[in-house]
Structure 1
Amino acid sequence: MELIELKTKKEITQAFAVVNELRTQLDLNKYLELVTEAMETDNYHMYGMVEEDEIVAVAGFKPMITLYYGRFVWVNDLVVTSEKRNNGYGEMMLHFVEQWAAQNKYDHVALSSGLDKPEAHRFYEQKMDYDKASYVFLKTNV
């Protein structure tokens, strides 16, 4: 098992099948467009857990600074392929993000999780010891 930063178009494309399990609204072209733009303009980082030459988990995150959290890392995407869930990959990926944050002098790691994902909420709160800090509100079509 190996953790690699996904930087090339080929590597990012290989991660699409895993990411698409979480981001089902994206087709490959829109995914590539958004990842590329986020990397170029928003300091977005994407890492993949590789097992037997196959990406089985992906974490995408970006460092940020706000008045609310101060210096922190926002986890945009964290997904383990359905066949590999409950094997510790999500925990390893999130621990990696936490280590990355600490090594780069960020004080917190934050993320949001959809209201329809109670199993993910249990994972973050009970297994990973994250606090439920806020609600995220969204307004579309503005």
Structure 2
Amino acid sequence: MSPILTASTDSDILKCRRAVQALRPLLTNEAYEIAIRKTLADNRLMIFAEENNEAAAIAVFETGYNLFRGKYIYIDDLSTLPEYRGKGYAGKLLDWIFDFARKENYDQIHLDSGVSESRTDAHRLYLNKRFEVASLHFTAKL
């Protein structure tokens, strides 16, 4: 398995497109680059594991500080291409984030995950990585 890389160049960002779209299928090829650049400009990083000159899996996370969480990381996106699922890529990305958080003295790592039968494997991974179900997340669309 390849090392974890930070997507920082145009080439890296393009390598990650299919893995991002596996989680965000409404993100068209035409909208992808603008959306990723806006996302990364908002205090976020995208990391990936590369196989065959593309990202087998990606994670996008923000860093910040607030009164509730202290110094935190929030994982926005964690996605693995279907042909690489079940091979440890997402776990390796999470391990990288945990190592980064420890080195940079973050207090907490957060993520939200949709609830459906198709998310069972993801939830199993999060629980195995010692995440706790800590709250309900409410949303009001405007």
Q: Structure 2-normalised TM-score? A: 0.90
Specify the SS of the correspondent of 1:118: helix
Write the mapping of 1:31-42 to structure 2, written as runs, cut at 5 A.
31-40=32-41, 42=42
Q: Is the 8 A contact 1:46 1:60 kept in 2?
A: yes
1:76 maps to 76
**5+ long unaligned stretches in structure 2:** none
Give the aligned residue type for 1:49.
Answer: A
Q: Is the 8 A contact 2:44 2:62 kept in 1?
A: yes
2:25 maps to 24
Write the mapping of 1:1-142 to structure 2, written as runs, cut at 5 A.
1-40=2-41, 42-116=42-116, 117-125=119-127, 127-140=128-141, 142=142
How much identity, in percent, do the aligned residues show? 27
Q: Structure 1-normalised TM-score? A: 0.90
Runs of 4 or more off by more than 4 Å in structure 1?
A: none
Q: 1:36 to 1:111 in 2, by over 3 A?
A: same
Number of equivalenced pairs: 139
Q: Is the 8 A contact 2:80 2:90 kept in 1?
A: yes
| Distance across 1 between alignment mates of 2:133 and 2:114 | 12
| Distance across 2 between alignment mates of 1:62 and 1:104 | 13
| Distance across 2 between alignment mates of 1:3 and 1:44 | 16
**5+ long unaligned stretches in structure 1:** none
Q: Is the 8 A contact 1:5 1:48 kept in 2?
A: yes
| Distance across 2 between alignment mates of 1:106 and 1:139 | 29
How much has 1:138 moved relative to structure 2? 1.6
Q: Over the residues paired in the alignment, what is the CA RMSD in angstroms?
A: 1.3
How much has 1:121 moved relative to structure 2? 1.3
Specify the SS of the correspondent of 2:68: coil
Give the aligned residue type for 1:25.
Answer: L
